[in-house]
Amino acid sequence: MTVTTRAELPEDAPATRRLHMAAFPGPDEADLVDALRRDPAWLPGLSVVAVEESGLVVGHALLTRLQIGEGWGLALAPVAVAPEWQRKGVGAQLVRAALAAAEAAGERLVVVVGDQHYYARFGFTPAFEHGITADFPPEYIGALALARDDVPRGHCRYPEPFGAV
C-alpha cells in the first residue's frame, strides 16, 4: 500500500487528532495541535498529512510560525505516524514534504526540538551553529536554513500553546 502526502484540510482535523492519540502515550500532542489550530501561529498549507490509499490519515507533520530574535521562522512539531505505519519511511516522507512546502512558501529557517539523530537526515544541524537558542537543552534543538540570506538568528519564542504542554 502506498502513502501520499498533502496539505491538511479542515475536515481532516478529527482524523489528525485520532492519529496523535494513537501515536503518543497521552493527549498532550493532540491537544497541542488543536490549540495551535486556533492560534495566530497556524499556517494553512504547512500542516501536512500522510494518507493511505483508502484516504485514512496515517501521519502528520506540523510547521507553525516561530519568533526567532527579531525575525521569524518555523517550528516543526509535532511529527507523528500511526503505530502500524512506523518505520516504513512515512515519517521521512512527511518531514520532506513539509520542508518542501515551507521552502516553496519562501520560508527561511526551521527549528526542531527532539531527537537530533532522527532529524539530522533531513539536514538539520545543531541550532547553536545557526546562532539559535531556545528554552530547551541545546542538544535537543536543531535548525535547517532554507535560504541563504536574511536567515533569522536569536532566541526562539514558541507560540503560546507550546507552553501549555
Ligand X SMILES: CC(C)(COP(=O)(O)OP(=O)(O)OC[C@H]1O[C@@H](n2cnc3c(N)ncnc32)[C@H](O)[C@@H]1OP(=O)(O)O)[C@@H](O)C(=O)NCCC(=O)NCCS
The site for ligand X (CB under 6 A) is made up of 23-24, 77-81, 86-92, 114-115, 118
Q: How many alpha carbons lie under 13 Å from residue 9 in its C-beta half-sphere?
A: 8
Closer residue to ligand X in complex, CB, 82/101: 82
Closer residue to ligand X in complex, CB, 8/71: 8
- Least CB distance to ligand X at residue 49 (A): 13
- All cell numbers assigned to 41: 501561529
- Least CB distance to ligand X at residue 34 (A): 15
Closer residue to ligand X in complex, CB, 22/151: 22
- Least CB distance to ligand X at residue 77 (A): 6
Return all residues near 150 (Cβ < 8 A) that are at least 6 apart: 71, 108
- Least CB distance to ligand X at residue 52 (A): 13
Amino acid identity of residue 165, one-letter, is V
If we measure between CA atoms, which residue out of 57, 46, 50 comes closest to residue 13? Answer: 57
Q: Is the peptide bond before 10 cis (omega within 30 degrees of 0)?
A: no
Task: Please give the residue whose beta carbon sits closest to ligand X in the complex.
Answer: 91
- All cell numbers assigned to 1: 500500500
Would you put residue 88 in left (φ > 0), alpha (ψ -120 to 50) or beta? alpha
Closer residue to ligand X in complex, CB, 27/89: 89
